[in-house]
Structure 1
Amino acid sequence: MNHLIQLRHTLHQFPETALEERQTAQRILEFFRPLAPDQTYQNLGGTGLAFLFKGKKPGKRLLFRCELDGLPIEDLNPSDHQSQIPGKGHLCGHDGHMTILCGLGEKLAQNRPESGEVVLLFQPAEETGDGAKAVLSDSRFEQIRPDFAFALHNLPGYPLHQVVMRKGTFAAGSTGMTITLTGRTSHSAHPEAGINPAEALAKLIQELPKLPQEANGFALLTLIHAELGSLAFGTSAGKGSLSMTLRAYDQQDLDELIEKVKTTAEAIATSEQLKVEFSFVEQFAVSVNDPSLYPEVEKAAKGLGLSLIEKSDPFRWSEDFGLFSQICPSFLFGLGAGENCPQLHEGTYDFPDEMIETGVGMFWSLIKNS
């Protein structure tokens, strides 16, 4: 594992954020060249990479996916592999996930599967929710469209190497949403001459957080930012905005919550004679695990002698692997990063190197058992 650990440390030192992962992709490409995959796809969905390994006989195509991007967060963990890029860090473990797929690539180069094909996908821009959509929209994706797709994510707070599983929803769907209200500026001495969105903004701040209570299942609306006019004391504001994150365990619940927000905002805007517009960013589909793949993942974990736990509720965070569950049977599982490991997206987080071998073992078992 030493060479893989060194690779992980190098990736950790030079993180790149969403859709800028060119240097990272180049490092991965150089690692795979001597492994001689049957097909290599570059610039997939932007900066993505995919490597196809053919089995000895025809059969199903399995896809294993990891993420290329780091975060725009300072790496605060002093180490010999601390990030060399100011303000950026691999603080979600994507450096470790990439290394696991590199280790899997080495195994495939030495031992092709008996049947079928294996695709190793290095996806860009997971953190913003743009990457999976870009990859799936790439015309070349049809050449590697899988019959089954798998991914893992490290999970701080769980015992090291423990496999965390769920049937159905594994992680919530979410979207960032901004409501923009436009009225008309006026002199602050004559506010009645303009249309100030302040009162409408105040009503939205009061009313919108109540909407998830009407959902059938889990739904959450978190206000994250509000803006009104500018710091010009002689001017009554003519524009305002309110941004929020919406989450749900069910895609229909998420879609319905979005519509309720729109309806509420439109009604308030109309009553205040304001123009209203909506915009969306960082849209993540619900990650749904196909129940038919549960026994396969369970068998892999037990075969490696790993502790296994079934989580009673889905995770509230989102993962854009959810889009893959809309095109084929898919399964996302967690791998414990240690009970005392700093949480994801914290400045002191660092992917535990011991997990690399476990991750490779899980994916290799899924290939052998397919």
Structure 2
Amino acid sequence: MPIINRIAGFADDMTEWRRHLHQHPELGQDCHQTAAYVVERLRDFGITEIHQNVAVSGVIAVIEGQGEGPTIGLRADMDALPIAETTGADWASKNPGKMHACGHDGHTTMLLGAAKYLAETRNFAGRVVLIFQPAEETGGGAELMVEEGVLDRFGIRDVYALHNAPGTPVGEFYTTPGPIMAAVDTFHVDIKGEGGHGAYPQETRDPIPPALSIAQAMGTIVSRNHRALDELVVSVTMFHAGTADNIIPEDAYLGGTVRTFDKDVQAMVKRRMAEIVEGHARAFNVEATLRYEEGFPPTINTPQETSFAVEVAREVAAQGTVTPDVAPEMGAEDFAYFLNERPGCYLFVGNGDTAGLHQPNYDFDDNTAPYGASFFARVAERALPLGDG
């Protein structure tokens, strides 16, 4: 069996933890009950250095090894999504309109499993810092932890994280050196014209035609303003205008998302959007305002730590199956804030043939947890070998 035998031995306990967390989802930075449950488990494991209310409701725990050595960080996210669950599972969410539709209950469980094993064995020299982070989905959790000095305060040298991957067989891993997840930005365009009767458009300054034209022009940023080999997504995802079929509205709104890996590409998109909005405002005789909000930066794995993480994953993966050079994804992940400050690696572990992430019928596969916990545990033992202190 590729997973660590001791971790396989308490797999049923991990299932119990995960299903409890699944029943009690919390959103954003308000993960206080989840954090309390995590702290209770950590204390059960005999871990005594526990720091609470980090980044509002985050938890940091420190496990001391045998002797002096460096410090590494292992991170799991704790927050859920504002989605009404439809799984019908016995352990379905008890909080209406909230569910763990991205598997953060599983991520927290995997790190708890590693914590239990490492607290028992302490077969490493140095320190392992366990980072239980709130507010990954809504943003702010990782960034706030970095701003609060978590990496410096605990002297973390390098940092690692996992995310489950529906559609990939349970226990298989994949990652890549360099960019693996994109930067995510949001844009908003507010258009103000002059409304009136739909039968007399000549007496209005209709905001709908410029809004439609702006939305179409946004698409040309990808097709005509950037090099085809540079990854870029510009998606208009919202369009709001009007209240009745015989009224030309005064206002229109459109918004969407931008995904990039390169700062120069991101700057080009911002410039072109501003030019498009300004030009259309003049052409259609309306007022138009662009609000461009930069979100998570790209998640960029460092080569040496990625090579190391791939070696470790091969030790514990089902059939040793690890893809070390997967194509980057255009989704985003706030673990990027940690990787902006420290070397490290972000990996995916297979979750089997389940519904996709952020879907109301998604559920984390409990068979995945021992693989993730074994990976975290072996990262600690391999990165902090006894005798190196």
Is 1:125 aligned to 2:139, yes or no? Answer: no
Say whether the 8 Å CA contact 1:225–1:242 is kept in structure 2: yes
- CA distance in 2 between partners of 1:184 and 1:64 (Å): 55
- CA distance in 2 between partners of 1:233 and 1:134 (Å): 48
Is 1:293 aligned to 2:299, yes or no? Answer: no
Match for residue 247 of structure 1 among 236, 248, 259: 259
Q: How does 1:1-370 map to 2 (within 5 A)?
A: 1-112=11-122, 114-139=124-149, 142-144=152-154, 146-185=156-195, 195-213=205-223, 214-216=225-227, 217-231=230-244, 233=246, 236-279=248-291, 283-304=295-316, 306-338=320-352, 340-370=353-383
Letter in 2 for 1:48: G
> TM-score, with normalisation over the residues of structure 1?
0.91
Percent of aligned pairs with the same residue? 26
- CA distance in 2 between partners of 1:215 and 1:280 (Å): 19
CA separation of 1:223 and 1:296: change in aligned 2, threshold 3 A: same
User: What number of residue pairs does the alignment pair up?
Assistant: 368
- CA distance in 1 between partners of 2:343 and 2:371 (Å): 23
Q: Deviations over 1:294-333 (max 9, x none)?
A: 2211221222352112344111221111122111112001
CA separation of 1:251 and 1:68: change in aligned 2, threshold 3 A: farther
CA separation of 1:84 and 1:62: change in aligned 2, threshold 3 A: same
Letter in 1 for 2:350: G
Counterpart residue number, 2:386: none
- CA distance in 1 between partners of 2:150 and 2:333 (Å): 23
2:256 is paired with a residue of what secondary structure? Answer: strand
CA separation of 1:22 and 1:239: change in aligned 2, threshold 3 A: same
Residue 73 (structure 1) shift: 1.4
- CA distance in 2 between partners of 1:9 and 1:281 (Å): 36
Gap runs ≥5 in structure 2: 1-10, 384-389
Say whether the 8 Å CA contact 2:87–2:361 is kept in structure 1: yes
Say whether the 8 Å CA contact 1:130–1:282 is kept in structure 2: no
- CA distance in 1 between partners of 2:117 and 2:40 (Å): 17
Letter in 2 for 1:321: F
Say whether the 8 Å CA contact 1:130–1:283 is kept in structure 2: no
Say whether the 8 Å CA contact 2:277–2:290 is kept in structure 1: no
Letter in 1 for 2:226: A
Q: Deviations over 1:240-286 (max 9, x none)?
A: 21111111233432343233222221222244444433335682221
- CA distance in 2 between partners of 1:61 and 1:181 (Å): 52
1:345 is paired with a residue of what secondary structure? Answer: coil
Letter in 1 for 2:339: S
Letter in 2 for 1:307: T
> TM-score, with normalisation over the residues of structure 2?
0.87
Say whether the 8 Å CA contact 1:15–1:90 is kept in structure 2: yes
Q: Deviations over 1:183-226 (max 9, x none)?
A: 44556676556543222212101100120222230101111111
Residue range with higher mean Cα deviation, 271-280 or 93-102? 271-280
CA RMSD for the aligned pairs?
2.3
Letter in 1 for 2:341: I
- CA distance in 1 between partners of 2:41 and 2:267 (Å): 42
- CA distance in 1 between partners of 2:292 and 2:17 (Å): 36
Say whether the 8 Å CA contact 2:184–2:295 is kept in structure 1: yes
Gap runs ≥5 in structure 1: none
CA separation of 1:284 and 1:163: change in aligned 2, threshold 3 A: same
CA separation of 1:344 and 1:261: change in aligned 2, threshold 3 A: same
